[in-house]
């Protein structure tokens, strides 16, 4: 049986792992992203997502270097994104060791690029990231360009568009829930999961491990968190234990090999 995935997200601003609260990044959590990754690798996390949220496009090269350093120690899938607005940079990230490209603003500004990348690398390589923000009356809309620009379209419509362009997965995030510690935007996630045939990763707002279970129950194939995984020892392992106790099928941790530890 296919397992539900637990994903750790590393938010990088100017090369440092930062805490994200409603897409503002005032606190640095780790000065070296590789340290954060090493812990996740040991703690049975199923996948790593690394996002460059720097305000300057000049951050691209430094970010690709970090992806390369992380990938050399990362033996689970690694998805990378931020400032992917041309094919050369997409290729650079893949050559740096990323397995998947996380695309957000290009879905709005360069849809042809998304299709070209999907054709070239396959749809499994394209993760469409969507940031949802609710307006004053509570209607969910899409925000692009690091949350700065609103597009008046419902999340499930946007998700269908992303899949039509070639996305093989959806990374759902909510700006209102980001860092707010109240759990995922379950209502929107459920609608997105029902709208698309590809796996959906729930992200944004996890504070208790029950929030992860809620994401799975809403239809997500994978549940992600960022801030919350940095603050507790063995966090992802604890999260998995909780998911398993709630009846969610997850990858067994530390499956023992019959011989001594490898390498």
Partner 1 sequence: MSLSKIAIIDYGMGNLRSVQNALIQIGAASEIVSQPETVYKYSKIILPGVGAFNEAVANLNRLGMTEALTEAKDSGVSVLGICLGMQLMCRSSEEDGFHQGFGWIDASVQRFPDQAEIKVPHIGWNDLTLRYPHYLVAGLPIHPDVYFVHSYRVKCADPTDVLATCNYGEDFTAMFARENVMGIQFHPEKSQDIGLRILKNFVEHVTC
Q: Tokens 């690091």 sit at which residue? A: 146
Contact 100, 124 (CB under 8 A): yes
Query: 166, 168, 204, 205: which one contacts partner 1 (CB under 8 A)?
Result: 168
Tell me how far, at minimum, the Cβ of 221 lies from partner 1, in Å: 7
Comparison of 44 and 53: residue with beta carbon closer to partner 1? 44
Q: Please tell me the count of residues contacting partner 1 according to CB under 8 A.
A: 46
Of 118, 121, 98, 92, residue with least CA distance to 106: 118
Please report whether residue 3 would count as binding partner 1 according to CB under 8 A.
yes
Choose, by CB under 8 A, the member of 20, 52, 71, 236 that binds partner 1: 71
For residue 219, state whether it binds partner 1 (rule: CB under 8 A).
no
Any idea what the Cα angle at residue 74 is, between residues 70 and 75, rounded to 5°? 165
Partnered with residue 50 across adjacent β-strands are: 10, 80
| 125 contributes a contact to partner 1 by CB under 8 A | yes
By CB under 8 A, is residue 164 in contact with partner 1?
A: no
Q: Which long-range contacts (CB under 8 A, 24 or more apart) does 72-76 make?
A: 72/97, 73/34, 73/37, 73/38, 73/41, 74/37, 74/41, 74/48, 75/41, 76/41, 76/45, 76/46, 76/47, 76/48
Residue 141 and residue 175 in contact, taking contact as beta carbons nearer than 8 Å: no
Residue 178 near partner 1 by CB under 8 A = no
Token pair belonging to 192: 């997105």
Nearer to partner 1, 81 or 179 (CB): 81
Element (H, E) at 49: strand 47-52
- Gap between the Cα atoms of 169 and 185, Å rounded: 18
Interatomic CA distance for residues 134 and 5, integer angstroms: 27
Between 75 and 231, CB nearer to partner 1: 75
> Which residue among 82, 199, 205, 215 contacts partner 1 (CB under 8 A)?
199
Question: Which of 10, 13, 43, 46 touches partner 1 by CB under 8 A?
Answer: 46
| Choice from 131, 156, 169, 178 touching partner 1 (CB under 8 A) | 169
Question: One symbol per residue from 127 to 146: x for binding partner 1 (CB under 8 A), - otherwise; what is it?
Answer: --------------------
Q: By CB under 8 A, what part of segment 84-123 binds partner 1? A: 94-99, 119-123
Task: Enumerate binding residues for partner 1 (CB under 8 A).
Answer: 1-5, 41, 46, 68, 71-77, 94-99, 119-125, 168-169, 197-199, 221-222, 251-252, 254-259, 261-263
């Amino acid at each position: 049986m296919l397992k539900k995935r637990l994903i750790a997200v590393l938010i990088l601003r100017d090369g440092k792992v930062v805490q994200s609260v409603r897409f503002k990044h005032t606190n640095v959590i780790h000065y070296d992203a590789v340290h954060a990754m090493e812990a996740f690798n040991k703690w049975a996390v199923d996948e790593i997502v690394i996002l460059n949220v720097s305000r300057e496009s000049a951050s691209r090269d430094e970010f690709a270097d970090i992806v390369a350093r992380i990938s050399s120690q990362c033996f689970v899938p690694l998805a990378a994104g931020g400032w992917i607005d041309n094919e050369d940079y997409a290729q650079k990230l893949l050559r740096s060791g990323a397995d998947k490209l996380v695309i957000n603003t290009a879905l709005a500004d360069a849809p042809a690029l998304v299709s070209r990348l999907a054709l070239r690398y396959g749809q499994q390589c394209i993760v469409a990231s969507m940031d949802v923000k609710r307006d004053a009356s509570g209607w969910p809309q899409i925000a692009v360009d690091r949350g700065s620009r609103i597009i008046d379209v419902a999340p499930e419509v946007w998700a269908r568009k992303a899949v039509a362009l070639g996305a093989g997965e959806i990374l759902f995030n909510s700006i209102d829930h980001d860092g707010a510690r109240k759990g995922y935007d379950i209502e929107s996630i459920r609608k997105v999961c029902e709208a698309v045939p590809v796996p959906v990763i729930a992200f944004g707002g996890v504070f208790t491990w029950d929030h992860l279970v809620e994401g799975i129950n809403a239809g997500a194939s994978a549940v992600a968190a960022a801030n919350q995984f940095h603050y507790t020892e063995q966090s992802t392992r604890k999260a998995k234990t909780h998911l398993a106790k709630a009846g969610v099928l997850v990858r067994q941790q530390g499956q023992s090999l019959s011989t001594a530890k490898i390498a």
